[in-house]
Amino acid sequence: MPIDPNIALGAELPSGEFAWTPSEVQLYHLGLGAGGRWTDPAELRYVDDRAPQVLPTFATVAPTFHDTEPPKVQFPGIDIDLAKVVHGHQEIEVHRPIPAAGKATITRRITELWDKGSAAVVVQEHTITGSDGEPLWTARSSIFAKGEGGFGGERGPSTKAELPDRAPDFDVTTPTLPQQALLYRMCGDRNPLHSDPEFARAAGFPNPILHGLCTYGIVCKTATDTVLDSDASRVTGFRARFAGVLYPGETIRTRIWRTDGELIISATVADRADAPVLADVSLRFT
């Protein structure tokens, strides 16, 4: 059985140490398309050589930035074929602005395991502590594993956030590059779903798709640039549910509703009649 809930649920995963420098931060931001406004001082803060500002979504790649092998979905009580897995949701809570360079320790555990019948949902929580012993960020994410349900677990919650019943305060389009996935994979996500046409077709897609976490970072940057004057230090949290696919070269439409301390966001594919790509998107800020 690929999933044994008695072993998997609550399992502590291997901890570890990692470090990053301004070069990794710059490359991550370039992987999101930073630098398009190449003479804008606010834009150039993302790629400063010595002290680039850091989007909180950098947290999704920092611990695995230098990985060169495709990821494996193998945990205590869980062994799933990578081709069956898609990202379910991602949430980052930053406890203080992420520095441009640093060292940290990561601890990980499986916090939730849901049986959807035709699929399984596995939720992880990562806690990152800086070299000074103080918390830096907490990351929570889920994966959706097709065909891996039926192990006898609870179905779990089914929640959907409603968008405000009014016109958005901001409506922005952001083009992606045809080579966007090939750039972004240099940040440590070498899943062949995003680079190998044959692998993508075997997984049910006509072509490689853009990393969900790349779209996630692009939308966070778009909202930060549009509403927060490109000041990444004001972002305290960002979450989204992965609702559809984006192909490299397509354009993201980001609609933003501003409320007190929070941005409610919808991200769709402008090229395909606003097909959903990210849903239940929330950016918290100061």
> What pLDDT was estimated at residue 2?
75
Q: Write the CA distances from 37 to 30, 52, 220, integer angstroms.
A: 12, 16, 17
Under 8 Å CB-to-CB from 151, ≥6 apart: which residues? Answer: 1, 3, 4, 5, 115, 120
29 annotated active-site: no
Classify residue 202 as left (phi > 0), alpha (psi -120 to 50) or beta: alpha
User: How large is the average pLDDT for residues 11-24?
Assistant: 96
The whole model's pTM is what? 0.93
Assess whether 194 carries a catalytic annotation. Answer: yes
How do residues 200-242 score in pLDDT, each as one tens digit? 999 899 999 999 999 999 999 999 999 999 999 999 999 999 9
pLDDT of residue 203: 85
Of these residues, 189, 211, 225, 280, which one is catalytic?
189
The rounded percent of the chain whose pLDDT value lies above 90 is 84
Whether pLDDT at 158 is above 90: no
Q: Examine the pLDDT at 245 and tell me if it is beyond 70.
A: yes
Give pLDDT tens digits for 85-127. 889 999 999 999 999 999 999 999 999 999 999 899 999 999 9
Q: What is the mean pLDDT of residues 152-177?
A: 92
> Tokens 């990578």 belong to which residue?
82
Q: Is the pLDDT of residue 13 over 80?
A: yes
Distance CA 142, CA 133 (A): 27
**Which residue among 29, 87, 126, 194 is the active-site one?**
194
CB 271 within 8 A of CB 196: no
Mean pLDDT (whole number) for 135-140: 98
Average pLDDT over every residue of 41-49: 98
Mean pLDDT, rounded, for 182-208: 94
DSSP codes joined into one string, 200-263: HHHTT-SS----HHHHHHHHHHHHHHHHSTT-GGGEEEEEEEE-S---TT-EEEEEEEEETTEE
CA dist., res. 121 & res. 113, Å (int): 6
Residue 115, CA distances (Å) to 57, 112, 155 in order: 28, 10, 5
E strands, the chain, where?
A: 12-20, 73-75, 78-80, 85-94, 102-115, 119-130, 135-146, 170-175, 235-242, 251-259, 262-269, 275-285
C-alpha 89: how far from chain center: 8
Averaged pLDDT for residues 31-59: 97
Q: If you ran DSSP here, which 8-state letter would residue 100 be given?
A: S
pLDDT at 183: 97
Q: What is the pLDDT of residue 1?
A: 57
